[in-house]
Structure 1
Amino acid sequence: MSPAIHLVDGTGEIDGTDQDSKLALCQQILGYQFKDPTLLLSALTHASGAVHRLASNERLEFLGDAILGLTVCLWLFEEYPEYNEGDLTKIKSAVVSRRSCGKVAIELGFDRCLIVGRGVTRNRSYPRSLVSDVFESVIAAMYLDGGDEVVRPRLKVWLADEVRHAVESQGSNNFKSTLQQYAQRELASTPVYRLVRDAGPDHRKSFLITAVIADRQFAAAWGSNKKDAEQHAAANALAELHGDPLPFSSDLEETAK
């Protein structure tokens, strides 16, 4: 279930919150004090609460979308070297989607900082994209005020769960890469793969391989070649680490069914 959105206007008539307190709250959430608070004010101002269209967060949203995309692309490029262009594109698209951005924005509390017109607070049929837009506009405001060194580390904290989920779901065909990233991040070790045995004639041989991390050996899995067997072994290791059922069997007859 999605978190509830809490919209208040900038008049102080809904919950006693005025523009100054919203700016203070947002900076507290961000852990960053703006040198130019007018940038943040623009980022938080929805078109319905702006004096005119150019005073709203729409231009900052345009810039923030590009900054968000570049930051996530660099992040994935640097930390997931085994993924190809297609995998990286799918993961990036999931991370920067309106759903992800809106979810993170609400979890952080950006919806409580929005400055909107009274019509929006009275009519609850507003688009769900509203909070994802403010996420992007705040990113742009921070970038303009403090640069990449302010934006990048915060995004890596805010979006860590979204990236992890996207890698595990969108990158499901590359279990070895996912396991390597998990092992290096959580266990300070790199997986190795060991051949347990092989079976069958030379022209149709199968291989049973196990993943090993540090001193822990995980459930082995069969594959019609060593590459597939390693992928299956990595998938089994991930399942064990997360307490999930094993996706691949170590029983050759069962695998052949």
Structure 2
Amino acid sequence: MEPRDLSRLVSDLGLDLPPEELTPAFYHASYANEKGLESNERLEFLGDAVLDLTVAEILFRRFPERDEGELTKLRSVLVSRPTLAEIARELGLERYLLLSPGAEELGVRERPSVLAAALEAVVGVIFLHKGYEFTRGLVERLYGKRIAEAASRRPEDYKSLLQELGQRRFGELPRYRLLEAEGPEHEKVFTVEASLGGESAIGRGRNLKEAEQAAAKRLYLALEGISD
């Protein structure tokens, strides 16, 4: 597989870069290993950090009435794997991914994690060549109405937020364990432990779902360093 012409993508992103400068952002590890090249993983690492910062600044300036906890939850939704993969598909990044034949056969090209990583790598390249201010403006344009939509929902589903955090930071999903269910049937109290990334928290509720949400909230806030 040979690199595709990236001229259209460069134009769509409003860049004044030679198209080939973006090519390393699409070197999947499977392709890079076969060709003796550096994969896009370092660029992905950089782009992930740049997205965290730019989205945080955009939210900070746009929503002065929101406290730290609300802004953190919004950022988690906006930089989550599903959101990044959605933006990557809108840009058509899957067309430019360079994969080994084996990875192609396994359907790696359409995996949300791979698409999200490609977007992060592209952001990393743009940051290196164009600097922070340009990149922040581009990120704001790429997100478009998603920022306002996410803010209007005021998400409180901590199980979803914890899952997104786990995938993004640890590459794993949270685990829930029922510790206890006590009391009479009509007043039973459930105690659940949530664990992720070597940390755990306990929550209680009148049903299993409520207890899991309580445990997820405590663990999520602890991992993000927010006081409950």
TM-score by length of 2: 0.62
* 2:78 aligned partner, one-letter code: V
CA-atom RMSD in angstroms: 2.1
Q: Is the aligned partner of 1:165 residue 2:149? A: yes
Q: Which of the numbers 123, 142, 145 marks the counterpart of 2:126?
A: 142
Pairwise mapping of residues 180-219 of structure 1 onto structure 2 (< 5 A)? Answer: none
Number of aligned residue pairs: 154
* Structure exhibiting the larger radius of gyration computed from Cα positions: 1
1:41 aligned to 2:30? no
Task: Determine the C-alpha separation between the residues in 1 that align with 2:62 and 2:10.
Answer: 29
Contact 2:27 2:98 in 1 (8 A): yes
Seen in structure 2, the aligned counterparts of structure 1 residues 149 and 35 have a Cα distance that, compared at 3 Å, is farther
Unaligned runs of 5+ in 2: 157-228
User: Which stretches of structure 1, 4 residues or more, deviate above 3 A after TM superposition?
Assistant: 35-38, 51-54
Residue 171 (structure 1) shift: 5.6
Deviation (angstroms), 1:78: 0.8
Please show how residues 97-246 of structure 1 align to structure 2 within 5 Å: 97-124=80-107, 127-170=111-154
Whether the aligned pair in 1 keeps the contact of 2:25 and 2:43 (CA below 8 Å) is yes
Measure how far apart 1:36 and its partner are: 8.2
Equivalents in 2 of 1:90, 1:119: separation in Å? 38
**TM-score under structure 1 normalisation?**
0.55
Equivalences for 1:17-96 in 2 at 5 Å? 19-21=3-5, 23-34=6-17, 37-38=20-21, 40-51=22-33, 55-96=38-79
In structure 2, what is the Cα distance between the partners aligned to 1:144 and 1:81?
29
Give yes or no for contact 1:36–1:145 (8 Å, CA) kept in 2: no
Q: Which runs of 5+ in 1 are unaligned?
A: 1-9, 12-18, 173-257
Cα gap change, 1:134/1:124 in structure 2, threshold over 3 Å: closer, same or farther? Answer: same
Give per-residue Cα distances to partners, 1:206-256, cap 9 Å, x unaligned.
xxxxxxxxxxxxxxxxxxxxxxxxxxxxxxxxxxxxxxxxxxxxxxxxxxx
CA–CA distance in 1 between the matches of 2:135 and 2:32? Answer: 25
